[in-house]
Amino acid sequence: MALLELNGVDAFYGRIQALRKVSIKVEKGEVVALIGSNGAGKTTTLRTISGLMHPGNGTVSFDGREITHTRPSKIVELGICQSPEGRRLFPRMTVGDNLVMGAYTRNDKGGIASDMDRVFALFPRLQERRTQIAGTLSGGEQQMLAMGRALMAKPKLMMLDEPSLGLAPILIETIFSIVREINAQGTTVLLVEQNAHKALEVANSAYVLETGVVVQSGTGRELLASEEVQKAYLGM
Amino acid sequence: MSQRAAGGSGSILARFRLRERIRDRDQAVYGILIIAAVLFPLVTIYATDGTALVSQATRAGYFVLLAIGLNVVVGFAGLLDLGYAAFFAIGAYTYALLASPQLASSPAHHAVHLPFWLMLFVAMFVAAAAGAILGFPTLRLRGDYLAIVTLGFGEIVPQLFYNFDQWTGGINAVGIIDQPVLPAWIQGPWSGDGPVQIVRSFNFGGDPVAFYVLICILIAAAVILVSNLYRSRLGRAWMAIREDEVAAAAMGINTVTTKLLAFGIGASFSGFAGAYYAADVSLVSPDSFLFIVSITVLVMVVLGGMGNISGVIVGALVLYYVVFYLIPGLPENVTNLANSIGLSSETTHSLADATQHLNYIIYGAILVAMMLLRPQGLLPSRIREQELKHAAVQEEEAAVEMEHAT
């Protein structure tokens, strides 16, 4: 059974339908990518999963449990954590406090401390800037912090929304190698990206969204080789 | 690379020192405040041979309590509340009605006289409940919209006390409110009029010093409570909501209860202050809780340094001095000054007249000047300081870049 499963999900913003019958499966231990252009419904999909909005029709289930109408705070407790689009850090809290906020739903002090060490091992820059307020970090550092914060919840599934947005190419490399590293350490990753090439390289499987509909799916490699994907998203 | 690392660790050290310095500063401020609180009654009673100044200080004290409470709502949780005086009113009326002859002339036909010490907590809970009730309809609102709803609430509450005059006496106000009475075991042989008098007798009936001591204790308790809250899980959740509500929800914070708790806990302090106020002035009328009170308290919070408790206390004291001493006393002081430098009595008179008319303009000018000179408040929180410093550095960097470009 898949760790996360969306089944025929419709989602609406008022009267506008943003998702039509979206069905997605994320198996445990995988990196799954959602690619598509602006307005395709990628972020909406993530918001539906994390409970920030609820689907009009269809179901979302996670770890054998239906979470279609569960509160966001409860969903975090169940093990889904999101690094949201635009990072959405707490700009006037320190780097350290931002990370502590990530572990908000947890009570195990020892576990939190060791996860903090783990985050600092992945992102040494964050350790250097621990007492600095997050709003004063550079773009790349902010992305690292957003990912570190999501990791602090010790999620079974980590959702990353456009981690490469607005970053220099060299930083994008770093970010994606860290995504691989996080996955290798045992966290399942659902990745939303406009940078289709990079995303498909790291993804075990991937879905292509267009105007709220899944138009194509397959393994990362299959989609990289697919002619339509190449034309539409890889600029070849 | 090594250079960069060195720079990084250097700046960390600098930042660490900044943090320590501010913690020291807070301790120093609290130390000074405690010493001042002890010395103030001794010195003023000795110097002026009367307790008028002490009862003024007491009045400043409940503004301090109000500012500490509003700081929880505005400074910690970032919920702009323009109707905070409503909770003050609710606390005051709770005590006034349940500890005065008022209810005898109401449809209840029976006066209630509950003890002050119990009512302090009752008033606190009633105000907290009112805070949560106000919180409910505002949960979906943010920023300006929230401010307008709280503004409405602040207008409604005094009107209610006006209009339910059967119960509250309406415009006639509630009077002859009970004074607090100390339990007998405190009035031992070591105090009062006995042969061995160590402490002077401590009687709330007309002794401002007793009220002064009480408000100092209440403020100290409030400070300890609020600073612990600030460092708690709940305090961090408030800050997260202030910074970014969506991200806070994504971290697993239950934004509904967290916001309601901010409103409730913030309001509870003004309930506290309200009960105390009613006992102190012994007369509660709806006029004492108008919009200007809410705004004054809000200005105290902003002026002192939003989010920083010691700053808020200092802000409350400074603004209290400005609003209730400096501005009202200005015409007289101007007259004295003019007389002493030998201006004719005619010019003196017109000068005093002018300052009288310009009272609020001068007050406004002082506020504008303070905000321009110290936008971060008198004693800003560490965060605010870092932020402004960062902005300054960025500006400098931008300027340097511009120079290179040209």
ipTM: 0.80
- Residue B8 in this model has a pLDDT that exceeds 50: no
Cβ contacts of B5-11, under 8 Å, gap ≥ 24: B5/A128, B8/A128, B8/A129, B9/A128
- Asked if residue B223 has pLDDT above 90, the reply is yes
pLDDT at B388: 67
Which contacts of B184-192 are long-range, i.e. CB under 8 A and separated by 24 or more positions?
none
User: Is a pLDDT exceeding 60 seen at residue A128?
Assistant: yes
CB A79 within 8 A of CB A22: no
Higher pLDDT, A217 or B180: A217
Query: What average pLDDT is seen over chain B?
Result: 82
Residue A137, Cβ density class (10 Å: 0-12 exposed, 13-18 middle, ≥19 buried): buried
Residues of A whose CB is below 8 A from B251: 76, 81, 101-102, 104-105, 149, 153
The pLDDT value recorded for residue A206 is 94
User: Does A136 contact B383 at a Cβ distance shorter than 8 Å?
Assistant: no
Q: Which of B13-17, B148-152, B250-254 has the lowest mean pLDDT?
A: B13-17
Q: Do A133 and B383 touch (CB under 8 A)?
A: yes
Q: Is A4 exposed, middle or buried (0-12, 13-18, 19+ CB in 10 A)?
A: buried
Count CB-CB contacts under 10 A for residue B34: 12
pLDDT tier at B2, thresholds 50, 70, 90: very low
Q: What's the CA gap between B370 and B385, in Å, rounded?
A: 16
Helix axes B345-373, B291-305, angle to 10 degrees: 60
End-to-end CA distance of chain A: 36
Q: How far is A88 from chain B (nearest CA, A)?
A: 6
**Beta carbons of B386 and A50 less than 8 Å apart:** no
Q: Tell me the DSSP string of B111-168.
A: -EE--HHHHHHHHHHHHHHHHHHHHHHHTT--HHHHHHHHHHHHHHHHHHHHH-HHHH
Cβ distance A104 to B253 less than 8 Å, yes or no, reads: yes
pLDDT for the residue numbered B198: 46
CB contact under 8 A, B244 and A88: yes
Max Cα separation, chain A?
A: 50
Residue in B240, B249, B254 closest to A90 by CB: B240
Q: What is the pTM of this model?
A: 0.81
Q: What is the pLDDT of residue B203?
A: 62
Among positive and negative, which fits the CA dihedral B198, B203, B207, B210?
A: positive
CB contact under 8 A, A105 and B16: no
Q: What is the mean pLDDT of residues B195-218?
A: 70
How close is the nearest chain B Cα to the Cα of A225, in Å? 35
Domains of chain A: 4-79+155-234 (3.40.50.300), 90-153 (no CATH)
pLDDT of res. B3: 41
Of A119 and B142, the structure prediction assigns the larger pLDDT to A119
pLDDT tens for B324-373 read 888 888 888 888 888 888 777 788 888 888 877 887 888 888 888 888 88
Higher pLDDT, residue B186 or A166: A166
The reported pLDDT for the residue numbered A158 is 93
Side-chain half-sphere CA neighbours of A21 within 13 A: 1
The pLDDT value given to residue A3? 93
Using the predicted structure, report yes or no on whether residue B210 has a pLDDT greater than 60: yes
In angstroms, the CA A51 to CA B246 distance is: 11
When the pLDDT of each residue in chain A is averaged and rounded to a whole number, the result is 90
* pLDDT of the residue at A179: 92
Q: Count the Cβ atoms, other than its own, within 10 Å of residue B25.
A: 15
Q: What is the pLDDT of residue B69?
A: 94
**Which of A74, A78, A85, A88 should be substituted to probe chain B, the one whose Cβ sees the most B Cβ atoms within 10 Å?**
A88
pLDDT at B25: 80
Tokens of B236: 């961090």
Q: Work out the average pLDDT over B37-54.
A: 82
pLDDT at B197: 45
Which range is least confidently modeled, A207-216, B15-24, B245-254?
A: B15-24
Give the model's pLDDT for residue B7.
42
pLDDT of B9: 46
Q: What is the mean pLDDT of residues A215-231?
A: 87
Q: How confident is the model at residue B94 (pLDDT cuts 50, 70, 90)?
A: very high
pLDDT at position A21 is 93
Beta strands B112-113 and B99-100 are antiparallel
Which of B197-206, B272-281, B348-357 reaches the highest mean pLDDT? B272-281
**Angle CA A58–B255–A91, to nearest 5:** 105
Calculate mean pLDDT across residues A81-110.
87
pLDDT of residue A26: 94
| Residue B250 to residue A82, Cβ atoms within 8 A | yes
Mean pLDDT of B170-185: 76
pLDDT of residue B403: 66
Which comes out higher in pLDDT, residue A181 or B41?
A181
Q: What is the pLDDT of residue B123?
A: 93
H-helix or E-strand containing A32? strand A31-35
pLDDT of residue B108: 76
Q: Does A93 touch chain B (CB under 8 A)?
A: yes
**Helices B85-98 and B143-163, axial angle in degrees (round to 10):** 30
Mean pLDDT of B163-182: 81
- Could you tell me which chain B residue has the CA closest to the CA of A95? B383
